[in-house]
Amino acid sequence: MLQEIDQKVQQLMWDVQKRTLDRMKQSYDVNLKTSYKDLVTTVDKENERYLNQRLREIDPDAKIISEEGYGDQVNDLKGHVFIVDPIDGTMNFVMQHCNFAIMIALYVDGEPTYGYIMDVMNDKLYHGGNGDGVFVNNHQLNTPANNSLHDSLMVLNAGLTLDGGHNVREVGKQARGLRMYGSAGIEMIYVITGRIGGYLSYLKPWDLAAGMVLALELGLVVKGIDEQQVNVLSSNLVLVATKQVASDVLELVD
């Protein structure tokens, strides 16, 4: 049953990638949400409606949490819950036409079960979970080397780095280098493939859910900076990292 859902959601990710690439050849509206730094396009909304409709066909009893308002009112993680980000990195989508992702996660009775991150412009679907491992397309990923902060590149939330809260500038200083890509999905991909040692950011459920499944499946650490286990519905400042980077970073942040 779960494996059948997994196969169908993988196909859905390729279908939505194709739709998104086609849609980018036409014009679309860009609107402000809370400020000029926070955008939504007609493609975000169309993708979300399409994904939610297909997910309801795939798993009719599941609930859906999604960013742009076409999901369900969900207050707990009982049963099957899909968490959907129809375009992650909307600013990059609009300004760069690259460095954005589409993400879905399936949580079953609160357990992170399957994660899917589509790197749209690179034709790569990162997916896995449920003990099966993590794959990019059909190629299985290994757990990244357990490097320390000194030997790793870090991604830190841009706003937090600018205002210097939680002592994060010290994390940036002690890392081998600092990177910011502007899409939680792409940044999670970099952690699970070992290109980045850790990612520290404020994450909403749809920013975190898919990457959290894939990171945990690979034995990486997903923690709140208060060192609490992360609840995907109420998470705030979250660290996704190798074990050693997690321990180094949690010593530094306050």
Are the beta carbons of 104 and 117 closer than 8 angstroms? Answer: no
113 vs 201 by CB, closer to ligand IPD? 201
Q: Binding mask 55-74 vs Ca ion (x if CB under 5 A, - otherwise)? A: ------------x-------
Asked if residue 99 binds ligand IPD (CB under 6 A), the reply is no
At CB < 8 A and 24+ separation, what contacts does 118-121 make? Answer: 118/13, 118/14, 118/16, 118/17, 119/185, 119/186, 119/189, 120/17, 120/20, 120/21, 121/97
Q: Which is nearer to ligand IPD, 5 or 215 (CB)?
A: 215
- For Ca ion, the closer CB: 154 or 184: 184
Of positions 85, 119, 217, 248, contacts ligand IPD by CB under 6 A: 85
The answer to whether the Cα torsion of 195, 156, 215, 93 is positive or negative is negative
Q: Is 184 in the site for ligand IPD (CB under 6 A)?
A: yes
Does 201 contact ligand IPD by CB under 6 A? yes
Query: Which does residue 183 bind out of Ca ion, ligand IPD, none, counting CB within 5 to 8 angstroms by kind?
Result: ligand IPD
How do 139-140 and 134-136 pair as beta strands?
antiparallel
Q: Which of 63, 72, 71, 68 shows the shortest CA–CA distance to 86? A: 68
For the chain, give the number of residues: 254
| Residue partners of 108: CB distance under 8 A and separation at least 6 | 2, 79, 80, 81
Examine residue 20 and tell whether it contacts ligand IPD (CB under 6 A): no
Which helix (H) or strand (E) segment is 240 a member of? strand 237-241
Q: What's the min distance (Å) between Cβ of 75 and ligand IPD?
A: 21
176 and 92 Cβ atoms separated by less than 8 Å: no
Among 6, 48, 59, 85, binds Ca ion (CB under 5 A): 85
- Verify binding: residue 71, ligand IPD, rule CB under 6 A: no
Binding of residue 183 to ligand IPD (CB under 6 A) = yes
Residue 129: contacted member of Ca ion, ligand IPD, none (CB under 5 to 8 Å, by partner type): none
Is 197 near ligand IPD (CB under 6 A)? no
Residue (of 226, 228, 227, 186) closest to 210 by Cα position: 186
Among 9, 51, 89, 149, contact with ligand IPD (rule: CB under 6 A): 89
Site string for Ca ion, 183-222 (x = CB under 5 A): ------------------------x---------------
Residues that bind ligand IPD (CB under 6 A): 85, 88-90, 182-184, 201-202, 207
